Amino acid sequence: MEKKHIVIVGGGFAGLELIKQLRSDTNFRITLVDVNNYNFFPPLLYQVASGFMEPSAISYPFRKILRKAKNTSFRLGKLEKVIPEENRIILNNGELHYDILVMATGAETNYFGNANIEQNALPMKTISDALALRNLILTRVERATRLKTREERKKLLTFVIAGAGPTGVELSGIFAEMRKHILIKDYPELEEEDLGDIYLIDGQEAVLAAMSSNSQQYSKKKLEKLGVKVKLNVLVKDFDKETVTLSDGSTINSRNLIWAAGIYSRIFNGFEKEDSGRGRRMPTDACNRLKRYKNIFALGDTALVEGDPGYPDGHPQVAQPAIQQARNLGKNLQKPTGQAWQGFQYDDKGSMAIIGRNKAVADGPRNKFFLKGFIAWFVWVFVHIMSLVNFRNRIRALYNWIGYYIHKDQSFRMIIRPGDKK
């Protein structure tokens, strides 16, 4: 019997989990397609951006990950078009035919149509984004040592973070600790008053809006104690590289806007308008199958799964729904022909966010319990270490965290600007 060819576009949480489920099944031949040749762990991008982790601690090459998956091959390429009527996809470097297509393409930054912000702000979605931000921070501080007035230095070293979800909270917290424990030591030319301010801006009534009120209140209190200026019920409306303009008419003199305020799914040529729903996510049935196609599925951030009574508006765009959807799809694909498929239902594992050293929050499933402080910090560290793709990454991450915990410092503060020759 000829093996069915499964093409998985996207090697994030969902894509790799589906391969894990099917890698021993001789009925399938799998091709993983990704625009990068490595998998990376998005929840720790902020650690790379702030110089507390090296990129290799949270990333790993696909080809090495897939060595033991004998039915799986890797294709480096960018998806440009899907041709469903021909069971074919077009990449920037060729094409592939499939029997089953799985879209696990994740999400990208949503600037809500603001061209100035899109052009001038810094996103936080990829390793490249994190390295660009690290370079910018370090370059800004170096330049500040040469400026003559405090006003100029403060404008250059004031950072505005739009979006008070986990990424925004974690970035603002680690920036505040950096300012307190590192910059003042590394740059004796600067005084504490030169280091500018850190603003965390959000249009909702609380930080970490998706978490419990206990987590929200604790996080805001600890951020403000670290010196972060939290501004809620207000949106960032414009940014011209010199001034951040807010929706209440106020302005912040800053040359740095970090955008962590929203995401939406990617759209690809070949799909119809009705294949895209809320947040540009692809509406699927309860088994993650796109409604208009028999052999195309969507997983994770790009899927808007119907039929789960607890989540009528779609599942959270975080790691656990993606992993669980991939597991469910893997089991369904391996069922004998004619056997009924199991619809997906999300098992909420809870949520966490870190604020700084010894400062974190954790909510249990459906807010059944709440942890804060060192215990929540320890749980956060353990869960994130165990979520990394392999043992090598876990050891490196643990080493980094132990070093930071003891010394309140790390040494990955190099300005590296690679030149990409073609």
Catalytic positions, please? 170
In whole angstroms, what is the distance from residue 20 CA to residue 71 CA?
Answer: 11
Could you list the beta-strand ranges (E) of 342-404: 351-356, 359-363, 370-372
Q: What are phi and psi of 380, to 5 degrees?
A: -60, -50
Cα separation, 172 vs 198, in Å, equals 7
Question: CA-to-CA distance for 64 and 262, rounded, in angstroms?
Answer: 32
CA 280 to chain centroid, in Å, comes to: 17
Q: Is the dihedral of CA 85, 30, 290, 281 positive or negative?
A: negative
The three-point CA angle 384-208-243 to 5° equals 110
Closest CA to 211 of 42, 364, 384, 43: 364
Query: Is residue 330 within 8 Å of 22, Cβ to Cβ?
Result: yes
Q: Is the dihedral of CA 151, 152, 156, 157 positive or negative?
A: negative
- Which one-letter DSSP state was computed for residue 58? S
